[in-house]
Amino acid sequence: MTLTAATSANAQNTTETVVGVPGPEEDPFIWLEEARSEEALDWVRAENERTLAALENDPRFEELKAEALAIYDSEDRIPFATFRPDGLYNFWQDKQNPKGVLRRTTLESYRTDEPEWEVVLDIDALAAAEGKEWVYKGSTCLPPALNKCMIALSDGGEDATVMREFDTSTKSFVEDGFVIDEKSQGSVSWIDEDTLLVNRDFGEGTLTESEYPFTSRIWKRGTPLSEAEEIFRGEPTDVWAGASLLRDATGTIQARTAFRGISFHESLYYVWKDGEWLELDIPKMASPYGIVDGHLLFSTDVVWEADGQTFPADSLVAVDLEEWKADPNGAAKTLVWAPGERQTKRGGSITANALYVGLLDNVVGKVLEFNFVANENGGGQWLSREVALPDNATVGIAASSNETDQIMFTVTDFLNPTTLYYSDGSSDPEIIKTSPSYFDKAGMEVEQHEATSADGTKIPYFIVKPKGMAMDGSTATLLTGYGGFQIPRLPGYLGTTGKLWLERGGAYVLANLRGGGEFGPGWHQTAIRENKQRTWDDFIAVAEDLVERGFTSPEHLGIQGGSQGGLLVGTAFTQRPDLFGAAIVQIPLFDMLRYHLIGRGASWIGEYGDPRIPEQRAWIEGYSPYQMIAEDEDYPVPFLWASTADDRTHPAHARKGAAKLKAQGHDYYYFEDMTGGHSGGVDNEQRAKLQALQHVYLMQRLMDERDGG
């Protein structure tokens, strides 16, 4: 029997006036939205040929590609690993294994300079045997042993995957095991060795308008997936929905839960209680965080009023697990942590006995360890301590073990290679691996400045530049940012950028824009929907500040960004074409009046608004780069690139932008990676090629002398 979550009054409002969206009569390039039509692919091949002729024939191309490839294939880069009961697992790609191998080693061996690896699954061999362009997309394994896994494989790099049962003990796919051959978005969870909880595309009527699953089934071994029992169903208007399992650190299932994503940033949560789905009385921008020391933790992105208490946005809130299981909406709530000024949490991990939470404190990384300490009265308190890691760096949690207190951390900054720290929980972390230096940092320095945005808000940015460089505007400078979906952009070792750009005299700038997550939920929420222009204003303000200070000048200033960052760059060069000499528009959103109809764009209405609603269309129409392209403007010869296999940010956005630029007589470059997914490039060779193409373009536009400047 299907047990459906009750339709909620909080669901998306469907009574708004709806207007039409641009169709073929208004948009002559809609045909480019067919990702793999012969007409569209012929257009792509012609564009690629033109762009490659201009960039690959540059004498610097091969050198740049070789430098990038040497970094990607480096044998002494850190092999980041995850903890499992039978060892440390790592996925590795290099010249000999371009598609990669899943491999494992012991902790003792991992700590040496040359670990002895045992190959568990060879993706190159699998792809060759099956004649597929397999890309490994991870695995979901049954706790606590984690030896029975569902392996996700993508043909060509798209987000949609097939899944197959794999036994890491025998290093082979399970004969007559669980197999999902229909590629789809979605997920699986192990209930037990013979039962899966599956959130996938089950055919007609099981995908949302955003093309994500909204139904869940329990699949028993030996039965067809089509006959699996449906246990949860959201609504077609949800962004996504599905059931899940709430497990503690031992892998024991403590509750069966479900959610409905009613917008990209808002969800309704449910718990299976007394034979029905009970909706949790928590804010729509709060969610379960994990189980620690017998407590269930929640994270909230908004102020939460409960039990006469006020929990600040971005805080962690705990309930006693057994009390919550007995009365999910009545369990007493306790504050675990709340952010200070300009602080925000950044991911967390749970070991057998502790919670670790990454923290940004004015864009500087820290990690806090939390434990619940009981007292003799049956109560207790949450205690925290800062983990002993270097200051003034970007700090992250790399891996943790559920079975033990083992944990690893990364420490990095722009100029110093990433360092990996390890602790078994009994002492402070120690360095166990350091990434090699990929570029010569001598003579380079990092500064942090602030620009003033259009509404007076101070926007911080970092600049990496040659020491003592002339402040006459002559330095070729690359500015990047993101500013969306509460995702922070943080200092990290520049690697290929350092080698290909900084060593050749360029400067690099990272802007911390509103809409991102550098300063918590408020920093994000102040620049979404009707206020999204603030993100674009922030980026333009940083560019203006760079020019005003003399770091660079418009003819030497380039901008680069991907996905939401591609939209950022598109808005920047269409709103202020006079301010930039180059613009790399990677895998972008670009046609914002049709974005909800292209790929999985409908899932992002919570970030940008709905162009079918007149008031919201007005917000979007004012900045949508595709519509903003004008015949009489002088644009900085943009370089747009995308991926044919990208089923998240569809290549149609970049294609249509290039086609419109061409129709209006503007110069531009367009390249489409015909094998990679959303990140572009499925192996190191292709990734190196993409890096070389972009850096040749930047050098031609920003470093080379050109007629007319």
Cite the active site residues: 563, 678
Report which of residues 23 and 300 the model is more confident about.
300
Check residue 445 and give its pLDDT.
97
Check whether 434 has a pLDDT greater than 70.
yes
Distance in angstroms (rounded) separating the CA atoms of residues 299 and 323:
18
Check whether 24 has a pLDDT greater than 90.
no
Q: What is the residue type of 349?
A: S
Distance in angstroms (rounded) separating the CA atoms of residues 254 and 248:
7
CB atoms within 10 A of CB 298: 24
Q: What is the residue type of 359?
A: L
Check whether 677 has a pLDDT greater than 60.
no
Query: What is the per-residue pLDDT across 402-423, written as a single tens digit (0 to 9) for each?
Result: 999 999 999 999 999 999 999 9
Beta bridge partners of 462: 448, 510
CA 206 to chain centre: 25
Query: What is the per-residue pLDDT across 691-700, written as a single tens digit (0 to 9) for each?
Result: 999 999 999 9
Percent of the chain with pLDDT over 90: 89
Check residue 318 and give its pLDDT.
97
Distance in angstroms (rounded) separating the CA atoms of residues 583 and 638:
5
* Peptide bond preceding 488 in cis form (omega within 30 of 0): no
Strand, coil or helix: 635: coil
> Would strands 507-511 and 477-480 be described as parallel, antiparallel, or unpaired?
parallel
Distance in angstroms (rounded) separating the CA atoms of residues 52 and 309:
61
Check residue 159 and give its pLDDT.
78
Distance in angstroms (rounded) separating the CA atoms of residues 666 and 378:
72
Check residue 682 and give its pLDDT.
66
> What are the angstrom distances between the C-alpha of 325 and each of 103, 357, 693?
39, 25, 56
Check residue 40 and give its pLDDT.
96
β-sheet with 215-220: strand ranges across: 187-192, 195-199, 215-220, 229-233
Check residue 676 and give its pLDDT.
53
> Would strands 333-337 and 316-320 be described as parallel, antiparallel, or unpaired?
antiparallel
The answer to whether the beta carbons of residues 155 and 647 sit under 8 Å apart is no
Distance in angstroms (rounded) separating the CA atoms of residues 652 and 681:
18
Q: Which two tokens stand for residue 549?
A: 């200070």
**CA geometry: angle 135, 562, 184, nearest 5 deg:** 35
Q: Given pLDDT bands bounded at 50, 70 and 90, which one contains residue 118? A: very high
Mean of the per-residue pLDDT values for the chain?
A: 94
Nearest to 691 by CA among 597, 562, 568, 596: 562
φ/ψ of residue 551, rounded to 5: -60, -40
Check whether 260 has a pLDDT greater than 90.
yes
Query: What is the per-residue pLDDT across 507-564, written as a single tens digit (0 to 9) for each?
Result: 999 999 999 999 999 999 999 999 999 999 999 999 999 999 999 999 999 999 999 9
Check residue 649 and give its pLDDT.
87
Size of the chain in residues: 709
Distance in angstroms (rounded) separating the CA atoms of residues 552 and 541:
14
pTM of the model: 0.91
Check whether 311 has a pLDDT greater than 70.
yes
Which of 228-231's residues contact partners 24+ apart within 8 Å by CB, and which partners? Answer: 228/198, 229/1, 230/2, 230/202, 231/2, 231/3, 231/197
Query: What is the per-residue pLDDT across 69-116, written as a single tens digit (0 to 9) for each?
Result: 999 999 899 999 999 999 999 999 999 999 999 999 999 999 999 999
Query: What is the per-residue pLDDT across 266-294, written as a single tens digit (0 to 9) for each?
Result: 999 999 999 999 999 999 999 999 999 99
Strand, coil or helix: 417: coil
Percent of the chain with pLDDT over 70: 96
Q: What is the mean pLDDT of residues 12-26?
A: 66
Query: What is the per-residue pLDDT across 47-67, written as a single tens digit (0 to 9) for each?
Result: 999 999 999 999 999 999 999
Q: What is the mean pLDDT of residues 128-143?
A: 95
**CA geometry: angle 493, 357, 273, nearest 5 deg:** 135
The answer to whether the beta carbons of residues 165 and 147 sit under 8 Å apart is no
